[in-house]
Amino acid sequence: MKLARWPVMLAAAALAAVSVLTGTSSAVAADGPVAVAATPAAATAAVAEPTEPKYFLGTGYGPYNIALDAAYGTAYAAAANEGYPSSSCRLSAGPVPNELSPGYFQILLEIHCVPPAPAGAGRIVGVHSGKCLDVKAGGTANGTPVQIHSCNNGSNQSWKLYPDGTLRSLGRCLDVQYARTENGSLLGMNSCHGAPNQQWQLLEGGLLRSAHSGKCLDALGWGTGNGTRVGIWDCAPHHTNQQWQGPGLGT
């Protein structure tokens, strides 16, 4: 989470708390929890499939446990309204309690959601190592490293090769960092922008060639251990550390 946003959200929640205490909010119930949430979209409105990671704020009021449940409920409801299933979200900040009066709390928290895996997504497995292409720790920040790791069915090991040549996971694109072209240049995740250093071509034998450099996705140093970084290297069709397969590639 970007900490710079947190004071802004605290201020917004504080304003909501003022309305609760002064009775200016029509949503306040004197004997129960109050949650501040956006009005759901009309039932007839189509929800576009999310493509980017996103944060959602939840706020609840009442006795501690009730306020906590309400805070989670509003955050997850807001996420669901935008097409993020609960399984794709996790707590990213808080909960932060604020006792407004004896036994009556305002609780603020934030969740971080990633786009659900699209149809046709799946793991990509290195032939040499038998391990999966993995976004380290499920990070979504630009520059998050990509590695190989024991396959575990996590969303950070779910990939899809798109018709535009981008290889995507968690709403980000596999990227040759800084558009470098030399052997050993590292791969990471970045916001999708369609430049050639994010375009990949699946070749016969399971090689993935970068449109930018003409070099292939490579488990560097022939490594097989968890955490081995992947980068680009001169394409060598018979090198199994450059051979990849699995449903994420449609193979």
Please, what are the averages of pLDDT over each run of 10 residues along the chain (251 residues)?
A: 48 44 35 39 56 91 96 95 87 94 96 83 95 95 97 93 94 96 98 95 96 98 98 97 94 74
Range of the domain at 61: 3-113
Check whether residue 88 and residue 137 sit in a common domain. no
Q: 113, 136, 164: which is the final residue of a domain?
A: 113
Q: Is the residue at 223 inside a domain?
A: yes
Instruction: Examine the domain organization and report whether 98 and 147 are in the same domain.
Output: no
Residues 140 and 196 in one domain: yes
Which residue, 61, 82, 113, sits at the end of a domain? 113
Tell which residue, 129, 151, 147, has the closest CA to residue 139: 147
Residue 43: predicted pLDDT: 39
pLDDT for residue 107: 96
pLDDT for res 91: 93
Task: Check residue 22 and give its pLDDT.
Answer: 36
pLDDT at 85: 86
37 and 138 share one domain: no
Q: Which of 223, 229, 202, 236 is nearest to 146 (CA)?
A: 229
Residue 46's pLDDT is 57
pLDDT of residue 44: 39
Residues 86 and 171 in one domain: no
Q: Does residue 82 lie within any of the structural domains?
A: yes
Note whether residue 120 is domain-resident: no
Q: What is the pTM of this model?
A: 0.67
Both 85 and 136 in a single domain? Answer: no
The predicted pLDDT at position 20 comes to: 40
Which CATH number characterizes residue 174's domain? Answer: 2.80.10.50
User: Are 13 and 87 within one domain?
Assistant: yes
Give the integer Cα–Cα distance in Å for 126 and 26: 58
Length of the chain: 251
Distance of CA 111 to the CA centre of its chain: 11
In terms of domains, do 152 and 90 share one? no
- 206 within a domain of the structure (yes/no): yes
Question: Does residue 118 lie in a domain region?
Answer: no
**Total domains, the chain:** 2
Instruction: Please say which residue of 113, 143, 165 terminates a domain.
Output: 113
Does residue 189 belong to any structural domain of this protein? Answer: yes
Go through 54-82 and write b for each residue having 16 or more CB atoms within 10 A of its CB, e for each that does not. Answer: bbbbbbbbbeeebbbbbbbebbbbbbbbe
> In three state form, how does the secondary structure of 5-46 look?
HHHHHHHHHHHHHHHHHHCCCCCCCCCCCEECCCCCCCCCCC
My answer on whether 143 and 98 are in the same domain is no
Going 229 to 230 to 232 to 236, the CA torsion angle's sign is: positive
Domain match, 178 and 219 both: yes
**Residues 191 and 215 both lie in one domain:** yes
One domain, residues 92 and 144: no
What is the reported pLDDT for 6? 53
